[in-house]
Structure 1
Amino acid sequence: MPPQYAYQRVADDLTKRIKAGEFPPGSRLPSRAQLCEQYEVSSFVADRVFLILKMQGLTESLPGSGVYVKDSSPDQ
């Protein structure tokens, strides 16, 4: 199996954590700086992770506030 890119590894981990309920709907994800420290990645990688999660429909960004887990209930 080929190695994963760092951004994919981090995005996969956060996706699993969101789906497992560690980050419930409405909760704030770690900041870019926290992701960089926790996963030992660059800020470019962290930004790409946030973009992937947003494209998957898992999160939404609130400028100046952070990245939050979206409510995935059917009525949303």
Structure 2
Amino acid sequence: MPPRYRYEEIADDLQKRIAAGEFPPGSRLPSRRELIAHYEVTEPVIDRAMQILRVKEITETLPGVGVFVREQ
């Protein structure tokens, strides 16, 4: 199995946390700054993880407001 990028691991972790109900549909995810501190990574890594969740249609971003879990 090839090594995984950190942003993939973070996206998977957030997806599991969403599935477990930690972030229910309609809820706002932690801010970029909070995620950077929690995962101890840089801003581009968090941005890439957020992009994965958006492409999978798990989250939606409201500019200037935040990232929210989509209603399924």
Q: Calculate the TM-score normalised by the size of structure 1.
A: 0.90
Structure 2: unaligned runs, 5 residues or longer: none
Aligned to 1:68, the other structure's residue is in SS state strand
Q: Distance in 2 between matches of 1:66 and 1:39?
A: 18
Structure 1: unaligned runs, 5 residues or longer: none
Q: Distance in 2 between matches of 1:38 and 1:23?
A: 15
Aligned to 2:38, the other structure's residue is in SS state helix
Aligned to 1:26, the other structure's residue is in SS state coil
Q: Distance in 1 between matches of 2:37 and 2:3?
A: 21
The one-character-per-residue Cα deviations of 1:25-49 (angstroms, maximum 9, x if unpaired) are 0100011111111001110001011
* Structure 1 segment 56-71 matched on structure 2, within 5 A: 56-71=56-71
Number of paired residues?
72
Q: Report the RMSD for the aligned CA atoms in angstroms.
A: 0.9
Shift of 1:4: 1.7
Q: Calculate the TM-score normalised by the size of structure 2.
A: 0.94
